[in-house]
């Protein structure tokens, strides 16, 4: 079983700064993030007999089920635990 509990690294900073950012020099700070390549779809290729459980967290209830179903289709996971940020501590949906 492969249990993917969180997307802790959906994005990354592509090039680190050369020097420490001095707080006195900036009123505001903007960073540009790049998406991390998705490897989720490769898991079944690497471990074809595995049961892959993934998670989908959204803030819009109108798209939650659809996004969970897309994860099953696009990434070939077996189960998606789907929840809303607003109620994630109290309830979740299991989408197969």
The answer to the question of residue 92 being in a domain is: yes
Q: How far is CA 80 from the centre of its chain?
A: 12
Note if the pTM is more than 0.75: no
Q: Quote the pLDDT of residue 7.
A: 62
Map residue 88 onto helix, strand or coil.
coil
Q: Quote the pLDDT of residue 5.
A: 62
Q: Quote the pLDDT of residue 26.
A: 67
**Structural domains in the chain (count):** 1
CA atoms within 13 A on the CB side of 69: 5
- For every residue of 45-56, DSSP letters joined together read HH-TT--EEEEE
Q: Quote the pLDDT of residue 31.
A: 82
- pLDDT per residue as tens, the chain (96 positions): 776 665 667 888 888 778 787 777 767 878 888 988 888 888 888 889 999 888 899 999 999 999 999 999 999 999 999 999 999 999 999 999
The answer to the question of residue 26 being in a domain is: no
**E strands present in 1-96:** 2-3, 11-12, 34-35, 52-58, 79-84, 93-95
**Range(s) of the domain holding residue 56:** 48-96
The answer to the question of residue 12 being in a domain is: no
The answer to the question of residue 67 being in a domain is: yes
The answer to the question of residue 37 being in a domain is: no
The answer to the question of residue 17 being in a domain is: no
The answer to the question of residue 33 being in a domain is: no
The answer to the question of residue 57 being in a domain is: yes
């Amino acid at each position: 079983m492969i249990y993917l509990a969180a997307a802790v690294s959906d994005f990354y900073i592509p090039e680190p700064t050369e020097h420490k950012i001095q707080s006195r020099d900036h009123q505001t700070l903007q960073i540009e993030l790049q998406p991390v390549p998705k490897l989720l779809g490769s898991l079944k290729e690497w471990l074809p007999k595995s049961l892959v459980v993934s998670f989908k967290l959204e803030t819009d209830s109108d798209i939650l089920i659809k996004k969970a179903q897309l994860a099953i289709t696009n990434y070939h996971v077996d189960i998606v635990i789907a929840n809303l940020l607003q109620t994630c501590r109290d309830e979740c949906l299991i989408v197969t």
